[in-house]
Amino acid sequence: MIKTCDVLVIGGGPAGLAAAISAHKEGARVVLVEREARLGGILKQCIHDGFGLVRFNEKLSGPEYAERFIDEFRELGIESKLLTFVTSLERIPEGFKATLVSRDGVEVYETKTVILATGCRERTSKQVFIHGTRPAGIFTAGTAQHFTNLLGQLPTKRCVILGSGDIGLIMARRLTLEGAEVVGVYEVKPTPSGLTRNIHQCLNDYNIPLHLSHTVTRVFGQDRLTAVEIAEVDDHMKPISGTEEIIDCDALILSVGLIPENEIAETLDVQIDPRTKGPICDAHLMTTVPGIFSCGNALHVNDLVDYVSESGETAGKYAAHFAIGTDRVPVEIHPNENILYIVPQRIDLSEDNHETVVYFRSKEVFEKATFRIVADGKTLFEKRYTFLKPPEMEKVVVDFASFNIRANTAIRAEVEVEGQ
């Protein structure tokens, strides 16, 4: 039997939960699909605090933050399907046909819209070129976090962390608290990738050294990792001969970046932005395929979960509206060379654009910079920053309706740096 709904949400993490709740509140019939046994996504294992400062003005741990949404989701009686995979998504005249597989077998849903809230994946050792054998003991930071915080198993006694992403920094502290020795965090770039506060509260507080412009060049060990070779790198991130150092350790933990997960999106020919590695979206977070929406870390990698929830709410609301139906008029926003990326990449003139939430990251660390949105030469929005740092996502609210934007209007997003 084919079941129907208005909005099918794929993913039960913070983005999917917020999207499902918001679509439900707009009157849509919502079904949420989650592959794991419990809702909450990656927040289940993020037991550290600092979540929800923007949204709730409270310092919550990951599970506490997630459970606020899960409680509301359950109170509203929204349907969820756990331990369920989406095996295919196809376009049909009425919208989309989703094939789901669970312990109940195969089920088919016909839905008017789909929200992709599939999160992101960690870059693995296969995606970072390291010489040597392939012993056990090389984990991503998220895997080490899963072992420690969900399974209660310490995966290392003495480790090296490669990459200064936030999860790596958080795990440096976590493993130290549990009695493991973290020899150091090594970052190939000359600047750290994680938030400044995490450098301080996770590394400096525990006297864990951070070595910038350093990388792991080789790993040693047959069954289990026994040592790694570290080297300093030059301006082009190439190891400098003669700077090698061997460090004994039983684990190498990688915190070398996150990539939005869009496998399902690609099967539907959703256009992907090479900058964000997520779908190109309008301000209502609809992708280039009408009826398909994206939010959270599947859209772009966020620095704070508060923004993940916010984008989920936007996608949920407009997916519900779309189920009723409007004609869209997309206009592109073109970022300049100082911007790493901007989300949304386009706005839809058929919707209300008075208070459009815009996220961006700068390409490099800039001092004294101005962010501007310019439409046909007229400045719609301007904000000055003392500092812009790529690890720290910026959020602004832009009134695109203050200018008579037409389908052929050239909209530019600029970061202008003083003295550049």
Partner 1 sequence: MSTIVCITCPRGCTINVEQVNGEWQVTGNSCKKGKEFAINEMTAPKRTICSTVKTTFADAPVLPCRVSADIPKDKIFDVMKEINKVVVSKPLDRGDVIIKDVLGLGVDVIATSNLLTQI
Q: Which stretches of the chain bind partner 1, using CB under 8 A?
A: 38, 44, 47-50, 53-54, 59-64, 67, 148-152, 177-178, 195-197, 199-201, 205, 303-304, 392
CB of 201 to partner 1, least distance (A): 4
Question: Residue 284's Cα: distance from chain center in Å?
Answer: 18
In the bound state with partner 1, the residue whose beta carbon lies nearer, of 23 and 305, is 305
CA–CA separation, 96 vs 85, rounded Å?
Answer: 16
In the bound state with partner 1, the residue whose beta carbon lies nearer, of 150 and 397, is 150
CB of 56 to partner 1, least distance (A): 12
CA–CA separation, 68 vs 191, rounded Å?
Answer: 35
CA–CA separation, 4 vs 14, rounded Å?
Answer: 24
Please give the radius of gyration of the chain, using alpha carbons only, rounded to the nearest integer: 22
CB of 266 to partner 1, least distance (A): 32
CB under 8 Å to 33, separation ≥6 — which residues? 8, 9, 10, 11, 12, 80, 81, 84, 85, 86, 98, 100
In the bound state with partner 1, the residue whose beta carbon lies nearer, of 49 and 72, is 49
CB of 170 to partner 1, least distance (A): 10
341 and 25 in contact (C-beta within 8 Å)?
no
Q: Which residue in 354, 383, 373, 384 sits closest to 412, CA to CA?
A: 373
In the bound state with partner 1, the residue whose beta carbon lies nearer, of 102 and 201, is 201
For residue 236, the one-letter residue type is H
What's 70-113 look like in SS3?
HHHHHHCCCEEECCCEEEEEEEECCEEEEEEEECCEEEEEEEEE
CB of 152 to partner 1, least distance (A): 4
CB of 327 to partner 1, least distance (A): 39
CB of 71 to partner 1, least distance (A): 9
In the bound state with partner 1, the residue whose beta carbon lies nearer, of 221 and 391, is 391
Q: Is the dihedral of CA 169, 304, 146, 61 positive or negative?
A: positive
For residue 387, the one-letter residue type is F
CB of 70 to partner 1, least distance (A): 9
Helix (H, G, I), strand (E, B) or coil at 139: strand
In the bound state with partner 1, the residue whose beta carbon lies nearer, of 11 and 52, is 52
CA–CA separation, 345 vs 318, rounded Å?
Answer: 16
In the bound state with partner 1, the residue whose beta carbon lies nearer, of 51 and 96, is 51
CA–CA separation, 39 vs 248, rounded Å?
Answer: 39
In the bound state with partner 1, the residue whose beta carbon lies nearer, of 89 and 195, is 195
